[in-house]
Structures are given as structure tokens and as C-alpha cells.
Chains A and B, each alone.
Chain A
Amino acid sequence: MTEEILQPDISGPVFNHANGRLLMPETRYWPTDMWKSPWSLPTYRRGAAVLAGLITGGAAAAWFLGEIGPRLAPVYSFIEAYALAYGVPAVLIQIFWTFIKGGILLLAPLVNALFAVWWERKISAHIQSRMGPMYVGWWHGVLQTVADGIKLFLKEDIVPDCADKIVHWLAPVVVVIPAILVFAPVPFGNELVFADIDIGTVYVFAVGGVSVMGIIMAGWSSGNKFSLLGGLRSAAQLVSYELPRTFAVLPVVMLAGTLNIAEIAGFQAGYWGGIIPRWFIFYPVVGQVAFIVFLIASVAETNRVPFDIPEAESELVAGFNTEYSGMKFALFFLSEFAYVLLSCLLMAAVFFGGGAAPLPFLEFLPSWAWFLSKVLILMFCFLWFRWTFPRFRVDRLMDFNWKFLLPVSLLNIAAGGILIWLLS
């Protein structure tokens, strides 16, 4: 057998080992081979460069824009002066301004849903070595969510025959309205808060709890056993996990001496020894435990994997939103991501110092940029958990809450008291 190497004829059919050797310079074999040295792939290097460029560009844009909060004051005074000159009563201006601010605030959950759904799909895809949406939009499927939203708008809205029509119609409304209202006292940066109320923390937990009602209504009114089971599970889960979630914040509230979320964030400004930020997460033991308990309870509160028993796909079809289609389903989805954003905002404000920079020399970036980046990192954690952990069983879910999280959070409150006593 001669070992003569014959040049392959590329114009004809491909030759195999018996008819000359395959000599294409860029022959690829199986895709997992590229895992051996990902940095040798041009596409991987380009991806890393794009990521670095996005971060740098975002930082540069944030530095260029500067603080947004103080910039809005001249706008307000301009509108006020203009309206007063035409004899508009001051009360009307206040109402008008409140509506404008409310409109801007409403954008937060909407834009967040557009972005977070895309991000979730991309991250889930890459954790499973897939690519996720790639075609819609000009870059890596960024407009996929917009296309899905249009599709949901145009879809038929089906109400089952045996459903309680009024309650079935009302349930998404009851879910989504608290999900938007709850953003009122949450800061998005220094001086970027819709309603700077003193009981912000209590308000957030109270209003957020109303959404459970909507989920139970959805489950009950659908006339479907899966929906009903999902609604009941959801009620049990959300009511249970409210407790450790609230208790986890209590040490922070005790330490800061205020319930106002913006003030809690402001309390954590400054650095220990000029390096370690005075964020609550860095308070020994108490801070970390409180954060972990709050994170776990937040994942449970937002009905996400591994705590997604209300809509467990493999057990309950889709749980409480089985019988919902079109825009009503989209509203449930929107509220889920709104609550994820809310949890991330709360964690960023309460445990990560809000708009404070992690290191003193990074303070040139405005507070909203730091807030946004902390929120994005925390939101990434939510998505990361979702695609890592399997679902809890219902009884273990309750065990975990009542036998672990609740005692730990109670002990943590005591530890927080001791810490305050030591610090004073």
C-alpha cells in the first residue's frame, strides 16, 4: 500500500482516506474539539473583545451622562415657570409632573422585561452550550423579545368555558398592578426615586404581597386542576417565604435606623480603611447570612427555579397560567420579571450600598451606573441559579423554609443586635 498523498480535487466530490487525504486547511471535525483551546478561535476572541467593548463603552457613556437626578431639577423648574406664566395652578403642575414621573417609572419593568427575557434565553442557551435566539434583530437576536411581544399582542385571547370569566379577566390585572406600584419607593440611583417615603421597606413587602392574591385568583378561576394546584402551591410558598425575606432585611434596618430604602443605601457610603466599602454585605457574618437568606427567599418569591413549584412545567403543565394566552400571559410574565428586577434593586440598595462605587478611585462613574451594574450582576445570579438547580419537592420546599431559613434569619436578627451593641 503506497502512502502517496494525492491532492484532493475540491471541484469534485470530497475524497476520503482511500482516495487521497483531506487537506483543507480549516477542516473542522466535531464541535466539542474547540473546547480544548477556545482562545484559538477567532470567534471566541472577538466575543471577548465585544464584551470588553460593551463594558468600556457603557462606562464611558455613563461617565459622559453623569448624574441624572440633579439634571432633572432644571427641567422641572423650567416646566413649572412656563406653566405658571400661563396661569396654570401649581397643584395641576404637581399632578402633571407626578404623571410624567410615573410614566418614566412604568418604563422600568417594561424595558426590564424586554431585556431580561432576551438575556435569560441567551444565558440559558450558553449554559447548555447552545446559542439561543440568533436571527431576530441585528445582533444575536436582541429583538427576539420584541417579536415575541408583538406575537403575544396579536394572539387570540382564549377564556375556557368553565372559567369564572370575571375573576379570570381580573387576575392578571391584580398581579401586574402591584408589580408596577412596588417600584415607587425603590431608588435607581442617588436622587432617582419616585416616592421618597419613610416606610419604603415595609411598603415594598406589603404591596409585593398583593400579587399572591392575583396568582390564587388565576389558579382558582381557570377551572383547571393544574391551575388550581399551581395557585395553591404558590399561596403556600409565597406566604412562607415572605417571613425570612422580611427578617433578613431587619438587621440592616436596625443598623441603619431607617426604613427608607434610599437612606439605607446612603447609610452605606464610605470606606473602611479607604479600601473596603462600608456595604452591609461586608459586615462580618451578619451581612453575608442576611444576604444569602434574602437572595434565596427572593428567588422563591419570584417563583423562579429552583422554587418554581407554582408553575412546575413537568408536573403542572404551566401551573396557574396554564389557561392564559396572548396578552394576559404576557402580563404574568412581565410581573415575574418585574419582581426579579425589584429583588435585584432591593439587594443592590440594601446590601451592596446602592450607587456607591466598590473602590474609591472608581467614584467618577455616576451612582445610577453602579446601581445598574449591581442590578445586572444580581439578575445574572437569578438566571444562573435557574439553569443550575433542579426543582424542589413541595414538602422539602416547606422544610427548607420553616426549618432552615426562618431560624437562621431569626438568629441573624439577634446577631445583628449584638453587632450593633459591639459597634456602639
Chain B
Amino acid sequence: MKNYIDFAADAFWNTLKGLWVTLKVLFLPAITVQYPTEKIVPYPRFRGMLAYDAEACIVCGMCVRACPSKCIALAKAAPAPAPVPVEGQPAAPAAKPKIAWYTLDYGRCNFCGLCEESCPTKPKKALWHSLDYEAVFSTRAEMVRSWKRGDDLWGTARNTAEGQLVPVTDQIHIQSVPVRK
């Protein structure tokens, strides 16, 4: 009889504890993010889509060597003619090497961040992971982003319809998305 009453009292008490847990959560704000209309800004070290600055790049090829999935390729532009040395003045520094083209295949990229880590330019890196996590590709050709000098940071991709290289416009800047109301 005592066991019976103890069991019933214990069950009742545990029932109340369970109810208290759900009641607490009920009055906390929902953690759901209604994605298309509101978006999370990820942590600062989040590795999102790669951005590349053709002006800052010194064409050292460190990223190509660092990449474990071999998704980066680049070519150096023909060097500018060396300036004619003037008598009595120190020789002008050699012109910084410029990029001819730079491609990055998102079909192979595994977002490890080694290319960004190995990039030696100062004070800003020429290749880095942005916080943007929204990427949609409809063909494999589209997954290859390519940059030339003068392109913006998202580069260009081969358009599905015309097969032309067009600037990437659907890459949203996640930081400029309005925060949740």
C-alpha cells in the first residue's frame, strides 16, 4: 500500500515538473527565423561565399597551392614594361604583378578557409570568406566564378541562358538584410 501511494505521489510530482518545463518554454520567444523575410547574420568567423579583390591580389599563387580540392586557378597578366631608370635617382620599385584571370569552382570548394589563411596581402586579404550563405546554382557551369581586373568582389559566372559571363547579381549582402523586427 505504501509503495502504491509513493508511486502515485512520485508520478504526480514528475508530471508537475514536466508541465513546468513546457510552461517555461511557452513564454520564451520563439527561435524560429522566418527565412525569406528575415535572416540571421552569422558569427564573424563564419565561412560563407568567397569574395576576391582583383586589385589587392599579388598573384603569388599561395591560394592555389593551399586549396585541398584544387578549385582555384589563376593566370598572371603580362608584366608592364619596366620604367626607364633615370640617372642619379634610385631605381623605381618593380610594378606589382597583376592578375589576368582568376577562377574558383564552387562545385569543388569545401569552404575550408585554407586559401584565405594563406593569402599574404596586407592589410586586407585579397581572398576571404564573406558571411553570405545564400548561393544557388542551376548548372555546373554556373558554379565556376571568375574574376578579371575591374570586376567587383563577387566576380562573374557563366549565365545559363546565354552562356555568357555575366556579373553575379543574386548574391545578397547578408549584412544589409534588415534585422528581425
Show the binding face of A for B, using Cβ within 8 Å: 2, 4, 6, 8, 10-22, 24, 26-32, 34-35, 38, 41-44, 47, 123, 125-131, 134, 384-385, 387-389, 404
Contacts and interface: CB of A to CB of B under 8 A. Distances in A.
Nearest to A39: B29
Contacts of B40: 28-31
Closest CB pairs A-B (n = 3): A31-B31, A14-B131, A14-B175
Contact of B26 (A13, A15, A47, A127): A127
A31 B39 CA distance: 11
B33 to A, nearest CB: 6
A129 B21 CA distance: 12
B30 to A, nearest CB: 5
A239 B176 CA distance: 61
Contact of A2 (B45, B123, B171): B123
B176 A10 contact: yes
Interface string B41-66: 11111101101000000000000000
Nearest to A403: B4
A15 B130 contact: yes
Given A38-B29, A128-B25, A388-B19, 10 more contacts: A10-B175, A13-B132, A13-B171, A21-B44, A22-B131, A29-B43, A31-B32, A129-B25, A384-B23, A388-B21
User: SS class of chain B's interface: helix, strand, loop or mixed?
Assistant: loop
B165 interface: no
B77 interface: no
Contacts of B46: 16
B130 A34 contact: no
Contact of B22 (A18, A127, A130, A404): A127
A131 B30 contact: yes
Given A22-B131, A31-B31, A388-B18, A13 B181 contact: no
Nearest to B7: A404
Contacts of B45: 16-17
5 contacts: A13-B153, A13-B173, A29-B40, A129-B30, A384-B26
User: SS class of chain A's interface: helix, strand, loop or mixed?
Assistant: loop
B169 interface: no
Contact of A19 (B27, B31, B125, B173): B125
A101 to B, nearest CB: 38
Contacts of B153: 12-13
Interface string B145-181: 0000000111000000000000000010111100111
B142 interface: no
A12 B128 CA distance: 13
Contacts of B27: 126
Contacts of A128: 25
Given A13-B154, A384-B23, A389-B18, A29 B42 contact: yes
Nearest to B181: A43
B100 interface: no
A6 B123 CA distance: 10
Nearest to B56: A19
Given A19-B124, A30-B40, A126 B131 contact: no
A384 B22 contact: yes
A28 B30 contact: no
Contacts of A16: 44-46, 128-131
Given A6-B123, A10-B176, A18-B116, A130 B32 contact: yes
B173 A35 contact: no
Contact of A38 (B15, B28, B129): B28
B34 interface: yes
B50 to A, nearest CB: 9
Nearest to A27: B41
A29 B41 contact: yes
A125 B26 CA distance: 8
Contacts of A28: 40-41, 179-180
B135 interface: no
A127 B32 CA distance: 12
Given A4-B123, A13-B154, A14-B130, A34 B31 contact: yes
Nearest to A389: B18
Contact of A34 (B29, B41, B131): B29
A7 B21 CA distance: 44
Contacts of A24: 41, 175, 179
Contacts of A15: 128, 130
B8 interface: yes
A32 B28 CA distance: 10
A11 B176 CA distance: 8
Given A15-B130, A388-B19, A126 B41 contact: no
B18 A41 contact: no
Given A6-B123, A17-B44, A126 B130 contact: no
B28 A35 contact: yes
Nearest to B18: A388
Nearest to A126: B26
Contacts of A27: 41, 179
* Residue among A14, A29, A130 with most chain B CB within 10 A: A14
A16 B48 CA distance: 10
A272 B118 CA distance: 80
Contact of A8 (B8, B25, B49, B175): B175
A26 B179 contact: yes
Contacts of B48: 14
B24 to A, nearest CB: 10
Interface string B93-134: 000000000000000000000001000000111001111100
